[in-house]
């Protein structure tokens, strides 16, 4: 499943703008205590509440984004005059301790490298996101009237431009800026995750005290890390657990300790490795959830695997390699998938980003061999057709039992159409009922002639 193209989205959302605020206003069927009720009347049936949870990911805020520069320079200006402005900007942005001391601001652009001006981002390019786009996405979250926000990491820009290397302080500044925007935009709790671009150098993370990255990142995120225990857990491990509803908990893992590219930690074959500890911790948290007969959403920036699927069938039609290659170190992948499989009835889904795409995979078990791995069900509709329902009933597709859905929400970085997803948890049935996807209105030139408005995509899922 791929995000709609910008053009298709624009066409789909324009007539639906007015529906957004209306829908947001009616999706809280909490029972109201009306004092005017006559006591002789039979009590109205009490509907269990439904929880609306936003999922936003991969903001990739680029403070150097230039709307007139082209994708060939990563949307960074290249003239000497602009370089000078960049240097001044950096001198103002960071104090001697490397901490952001003034709000991020944008340099005026004088470049003419691109044939068009793309104020809100270059859709389909490898450029990161301008602040106006990030602000619009967070403003959209504020308008969606949600009960909680999953913010699954990769907030800082990529370090792709060798003429404009990314300083470590920029990682914390981007996270601090976005945390402050979230704190101002919504009263709902916002739950962050650490992404592989939220550490420096990217992908590389050792635990404290060998690395000070996690404590610094926690300090940047302090406006939204609401309790001392969540702050301390994030600062020491990058992971924490939080309650979302009586039946529902969020388990945020630090998947960087499992990620194959992270050379600072060993594979989970080492008993004392950070990855082993993180896997043990996930196992413990899910065992507690299971014993309490509750359900968990598991969040981690890097999913256990990413599509698209390799060829899953041989020429004669017999399946021979059903599982996707993992993003994790081999032993860590085995541990994590076994844990998710073991507690599958108590895991409504795994939620992440990283792929800058809109995809759904499944932790699946091969019924013939008992092996567990990640599969791309190719089309969620096909999985549902075969009986898959997150949080309740799992389907069987081609001899593979689908155990736990693994969702990557669409990114804000405009690789495809930027969007925010809103999940709905049914507290009564204790299932994830599905999601709405809200696309930001940006045309293919990265312009809209004004502040992008929230639009509703045409895809209510499940």
Residues making contact with Zn ion (CB under 5 A)? 154, 195-196, 354
Residue 202 tokens, joined: 């990217």
Q: What is the DSSP string of 119-154?
A: TT--TTSS--B-HHHHHHHHHHHHHT--SEEEE-S-
Give yes or no for a cis peptide into 308 (omega within 30° of 0).
yes
Task: Classify 269 as helix, strand or coil.
Answer: coil
Nearer to Zn ion, 196 or 441 (CB): 196
- Give the residue among 164, 158, 171, 166 at the shortest CA–CA distance from 125: 158
Nearer to Zn ion by C-beta: 196 or 306?
A: 196
Which phi-psi region, left, alpha or beta, contains residue 185 (left: φ > 0; alpha: ψ -120 to 50)?
alpha
Q: Rounded to the nearest whole angstrom, what is the least distance from the CB of residue 196 to Zn ion in the complex?
A: 4
- Radius of gyration of the chain from its Cα atoms, rounded to whole angstroms: 22
Q: Which is nearer to Zn ion, 328 or 425 (CB)?
A: 328
**What is the rounded CA–CA span in Å between residue 175 and residue 225?**
12
CA–CA separation, 242 and 254 (whole Å): 14
Query: Of the two residues 188 and 298, which places its CB atom closer to Zn ion in the complex?
Result: 298
CA distances from 448 to 20, 121, 444 (A): 19, 11, 9
Q: Which is nearer to Zn ion, 159 or 366 (CB)?
A: 159
Q: Give the nearest distance from C-beta 74 to Zn ion in angstroms.
A: 17
Q: What is the DSSP string of 323-346?
A: SPPBSB-HHHHHHHHHHHHHTGGG
Dist CA 336 CA 276 (whole Å): 10
Output the smallest distance, CB 359 to Zn ion, in A. Answer: 14
Which of 277, 354 has the CB closer to Zn ion? 354
Check the CA dihedral 375-379-384-386 and report its sign: negative
DSSP string for residues in 225-267: --SHHHHHHHHHHS-EEEEEETTEEEEE--GGGTBTT-TTS--
**Rounded least distance, CB 276 to Zn ion, Å:** 22
Closest CA to 75 of 30, 35, 114, 32: 114
Task: Please report how close the Cβ of residue 261 comes to Zn ion at its closest, in angstroms.
Answer: 10
Which residue, 357 or 401, is less far from Zn ion as judged by CB?
A: 357
Considering beta carbons, is residue 413 or 432 the nearer one to Zn ion?
413
Residue nearest to Zn ion (CB): 354
* Pick 67 or 195: Cβ nearer Zn ion: 195
CA distance 105 to 456: 30
């Amino acid at each position: 499943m791929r995000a709609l193209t910008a053009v298709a989205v624009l066409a789909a959302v324009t007539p639906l703008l007015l529906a957004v605020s209306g829908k947001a206003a009616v999706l809280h069927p909490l029972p109201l205590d009306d004092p005017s009720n006559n006591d002789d009347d039979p009590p109205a049936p009490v509907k269990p509440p439904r929880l609306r949870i936003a999922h936003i990911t991969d903001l990739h805020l680029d403070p150097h984004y230039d709307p007139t520069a082209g994708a060939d320079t990563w949307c960074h200006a290249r003239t000497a005059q602009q370089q000078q402005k960049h240097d001044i900007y950096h001198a103002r942005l960071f104090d001697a301790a490397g901490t952001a001391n003034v709000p991020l601001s944008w340099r005026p652009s004088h470049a003419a490298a691109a044939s068009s001006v793309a104020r809100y981002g270059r859709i389909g390019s490898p450029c990161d996101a301008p602040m106006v786009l990030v602000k619009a996405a967070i403003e959209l979250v504020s308008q969606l009237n949600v009960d909680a926000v999953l913010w699954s990491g990769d907030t800082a820009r990529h370090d792709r431009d060798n003429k404009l290397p990314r300083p470590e302080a920029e990682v914390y500044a981007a996270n601090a800026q976005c945390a402050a925007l979230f704190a101002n935009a919504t009263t709902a709790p916002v739950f962050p995750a650490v992404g592989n671009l939220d550490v420096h150098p990217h992908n590389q993370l050792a635990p404290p005290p060998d690395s000070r990255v996690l404590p610094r990142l926690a300090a940047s995120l302090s406006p939204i890390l609401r309790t001392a225990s969540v702050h301390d857990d994030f600062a020491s491990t990058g992971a924490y657990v939080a309650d979302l509803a009586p039946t529902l908990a969020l388990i945020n893992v630090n998947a960087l300790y499992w990620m194959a590219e992270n050379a600072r930690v060993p594979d989970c074959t080492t008993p004392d490795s950070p990855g082993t500890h993180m896997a043990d911790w996930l196992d413990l948290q899910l065992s507690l959830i299971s014993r309490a007969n509750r359900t968990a959403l598991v969040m981690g920036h890097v999913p256990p695997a990413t599509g698209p699927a390799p060829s899953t069938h041989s020429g004669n039609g017999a399946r021979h390699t059903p599982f996707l290659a993992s993003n994790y170190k081999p032993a860590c992948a085995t541990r994590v998938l076994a844990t998710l499989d073991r507690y599958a009835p108590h895991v409504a889904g795994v939620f992440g980003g990283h792929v800058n795409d809109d995809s759904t995979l499944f932790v699946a078990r091969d019924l013939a061999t008992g092996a567990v791995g990640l599969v791309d069900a190719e089309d969620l509709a096909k999985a549902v057709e075969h009986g898959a329902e997150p949080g309740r009933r799992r389907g069987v597709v081609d001899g593979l039992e689908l155990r736990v859905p693994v969702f990557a929400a669409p990114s804000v970085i405009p690789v495809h159409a930027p969007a925010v997803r809103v999940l709905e948890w049914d507290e009564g049935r204790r299932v994830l009922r599905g999601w709405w996807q809200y696309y930001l209105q940006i045309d293919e030139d990265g312009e809209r002639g004004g502040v992008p408005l929230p639009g509703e995509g045409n895809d209510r899922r499940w």
